[in-house]
Amino acid sequence: MKRTAPMAPKRTIIPPPLKPGDCIGLFSPAGPARDPGRVTDGIRLLRDRGFRVKSSWEPASRNDYLAASDEVRLNEFHRLWADDEVHALMAIRGGYGCLRIVGRIDMKVLAKRPKMVIGFSDITVLLNIICQQTGMITIHGPVVTSLARSDKESVQHFFSLLTGGIPECFKPVQLEILRSGTASGVVRGGNLTTLVHLLGTPWEIAWDNALLVLEDTGEAMYRLDRMLTQLHQAGKLRRLAGLILGTFDPGNEDTFAKLRLQHQVWERVLELTEEFAYPVWGCFPVGHGQRNYSLPIGMEATMDGVTGHLRFKHVT
């Protein structure tokens, strides 16, 4: 099986913003979308905002954890990327499966035809590796099945990023500054479970000088503790410039359980990073809940400890 050897990007590539009438290609690199209503609601919202949609999606016909075979999922991705009508690629759903195909993606082809890649959860694999190997900024944002169930602020933030480009400053509300300080680095990360599964592989993310964003859902505290401890014992946390914690929820609607888990994660992270003294933020609006703001992965930024703003360094 042919795998693409890792390559180092020579420069930062920011895909052009979209405009009404542009086409968004929908792809399924991981798990199947079992709820047709969520897919159609997401597509409807994209079309209501003036975008055309290209997709070969069909409701899952079998009880499997993958949307299709590795070959079919990989070919779909390459086909949409090669399509001149498609200006951006948006994942239909996360789940699991990106790790099985990422090594066979032709990164050189991607670098020659910059397009937005959008998703989160298991799509964390593609967002970080495409960015690291091509220099192309990717978007940690909604998948199709989560788009219509995001709150109004998240939806507006998503479409503003698509059409207006990367803002100068991101001003999250209700941010918790768990450890003060100002730090500059490169925005990386996403789903904690997915990132830990990349350890020891050629597709491990670049930890050095990272402003690491972490979020997760449906994981008990002991599992989250185990993964965070593994990152610490593997020496990854000491290499960061700063740490940004999104939402950590138990996968249910119990408000007390959510708050308790969130604070347990904060306490453990502060314990593990005490010796490093870099800034740590909590309650950042990124994750599997209704509030999931979109972030540019690979963008240089500064965590401003005075204002609580994330300031992006624009490439000229």
pLDDT confidence tier of residue 80, bands split at 50, 70 and 90: very high
Q: Whole-prediction pTM value?
A: 0.94
> Given this chain, do its domains 23-164 and 169-312 carry the same CATH topology?
no
The domain made up of 23-164 is a member of CATH 3.40.50.10740: yes
Give 298 or 252, the one with higher predicted confidence: 298
pLDDT bin (cut points 50, 70, 90) of residue 5 is very low
76, 204, 215, 219: the active-site residue:
215
Q: Which residue has the tokens 């989560």?
A: 146
28, 121, 150, 154: which is the annotated catalytic residue?
121
What pLDDT score was predicted for residue 63?
60
Domain ranges of the chain: 23-164, 169-312
Q: At 297, which amino acid appears?
A: I
Contacts of 292 (CB under 8 A, 6+ apart): 120, 141, 142, 146, 150, 154, 285, 286
* Neighbouring residues of 12: CB distance < 8 A, sequence distance ≥ 6: 135, 137, 298, 299, 300, 315
**Average pLDDT in the chain:** 94
- In 3D space, the residue among 97, 99, 83 whose CA is nearest the CA of residue 24 turns out to be 83
Would residue 140 show up in a list of annotated catalytic residues for this protein? no
Residue 2 has pLDDT above 60, yes or no: no
User: Is the pLDDT confidence value at 308 over 80?
Assistant: yes
Multiple choice CATH, 169-312, 3.30.565.10, 1.10.10.10, 3.40.50.970, 3.50.30.60: 3.50.30.60
Condensed to tens digits (0 to 9), the pLDDT of residues 30-69 reads: 999 989 999 999 999 999 999 999 998 777 656 689 999 9
In the residue annotation, 121 being an active-site residue is answered as: yes
The pLDDT score that the predictor gives to residue 31 is 95
- Contact predicate 131/297, CB 8 Å: yes
Over residues 93-115, mean pLDDT: 96
- What is the per-residue pLDDT across 175-228, written as a single tens digit (0 to 9) for each? 999 999 999 999 999 999 999 999 999 999 999 999 999 999 999 999 999 999
Residue 168 is a catalytic residue: no
Q: What angle do CA 14, 121, 111 make, to 5 degrees?
A: 25
Question: Does residue 316 or residue 38 have the better pLDDT?
Answer: 38
Quickly list DSSP for the chain: ---PPP---SS-B-PPPP-TT-EEEEE-SSS----HHHHHHHHHHHHHTT-EEEE------S--SSSS-HHHHHHHHHHHHH-TTEEEEEES--SS-HHHHGGGS-HHHHHHS--EEEE-GGGHHHHHHHHHHH-B-EEE---HHHHTTS-HHHHHHHHHHHHH---SEE--TT-EEEE---EEEEEEEEEHHHHHHTTTSTT----TTEEEEEEEES--HHHHHHHHHHHHHTT-GGG-SEEEEEEEE-SSS-HHHHHHHHHHHHHHHHHHTTTT---EEE--S-SSSS----EEET-EEEEETTTTEEEE----
Asked whether residue 286 carries a pLDDT value surpassing 50, the answer given is yes
Q: Structure tokens of 224? A: 């989250």
Instruction: Choose, from 76, 140, 288, 294, the residue flagged as catalytic.
Output: 288
pLDDT digits (tens, 9 = 90+) for 229-266: 999 999 999 999 999 999 999 988 788 999 999 999 99
With contact defined as beta carbons under 8 Å apart, do 275 and 237 qualify?
no
Q: What pLDDT score does 112 carry?
A: 93
pLDDT 10s digits, 83-101: 999 999 999 999 999 999 9
CA distance 310 to 106: 32
* Whether the predicted pLDDT of 316 surpasses 80: no
Among 187, 193, 228, 178, which residue's Cα sits nearest to residue 211? Answer: 187
Q: Is pLDDT of 6 > 70?
A: no
